[in-house]
Chain A
């Protein structure tokens, strides 16, 4: 069965710092990968997705992620974070259903 691991449970950064959140998946077939964001008190919103083509995927709000098949990874990056990026971030993989990682809580200090 597929699974998703997010290694960083809680990340604290200052504004303008660069961000990389790790995500590794376990699945042998064709993968479809997603990053979702959940702002405090809100529902999950799609940041970006990968299903084929260019392994470097651009998302909303300046986020990007790189699919590295050999490492089974799909890390999320942003060159310069803002206070408004404070949220919970979920990596997910989809086969017949979407499986979410346990989430990474990102806290940006103003």
Chain B
């Protein structure tokens, strides 16, 4: 199936741990994103990559590090997890990030719970 897929779907871990979330899209899109959705459903962009190149890096703690080995993958690594990192993280892609009318295609989200 053509889609944006994220793994894992659920992630429960303790404070201080390091964890990674993986994202892959087989839509042939050039641009990929990470969004964070907090408990109030507020969606905030974290990062955007276009053809493996970082183009958007919002004010996100250095503990968050995206990695894009190729344009179909954008992984998110989080060091020293904190309680406030608990949220749903959505990966998304779009055909051409610079083209304004191209919408986002979202993955199913990863619900991260830090205890």
Which residues of A come within 8 Å of B, CB atoms? 30, 32, 34, 36, 38, 42-46, 49, 51-52, 88, 90, 94-100, 102-103, 105
Q: Are the C-beta atoms of B56 and A97 separated by less than 8 Å?
A: yes
**Chief secondary structure at chain A's binding surface:** strand
Residue ID in chain A nearest B48 by CB atoms: A97
- Answer yes or no: B98 CB below 8 A from chain A CBs: yes
Q: How many A-B residue pairs have CB under 8 A?
A: 55
Q: Are the C-beta atoms of A46 and B103 separated by less than 8 Å?
A: yes
A residues near B35, Cβ cutoff 8 Å: 100
Residue among B33, B43, B45 with max Cβ neighbours from chain A (10 Å): B43
B residues near A96, Cβ cutoff 8 Å: 55-56, 97-98
Q: Are the C-beta atoms of B109 and A51 separated by less than 8 Å?
A: no
B residues near A34, Cβ cutoff 8 Å: 103
A residues near B56, Cβ cutoff 8 Å: 96-97
- Nearest-CB distance from B98 to chain A (Å)? 7
Q: Count B interface residues, CB 8 Å.
A: 24
Q: Are the C-beta atoms of A90 and B107 separated by less than 8 Å?
A: no
- Answer yes or no: B101 CB below 8 A from chain A CBs: yes
- Nearest-CB distance from B55 to chain A (Å)? 8
B residues near A103, Cβ cutoff 8 Å: 41-43
Bound Cα distance A44, B103 (Å): 11
Q: Are the C-beta atoms of B42 and A97 separated by less than 8 Å?
A: no
Given A97-B45, A98-B45, residue A30 in contact with residue B106 (CB < 8 A): no
Q: Please name 19 further chain A to chain B contacts, defined as beta carbons within 8 Å, in addition to the given A42-B108, A103-B41, A105-B41, sorted by A numbering.
A: A30-B100, A34-B103, A43-B90, A43-B107, A43-B109, A44-B43, A44-B106, A46-B104, A46-B105, A94-B101, A96-B97, A97-B45, A98-B33, A100-B42, A100-B44, A102-B41, A102-B42, A103-B42, A103-B43
A residues near B41, Cβ cutoff 8 Å: 38, 88, 102-103, 105
- Nearest-CB distance from B109 to chain A (Å)? 6
A residues near B109, Cβ cutoff 8 Å: 43
Residue among A36, A43, A88 with max Cβ neighbours from chain B (10 Å): A43
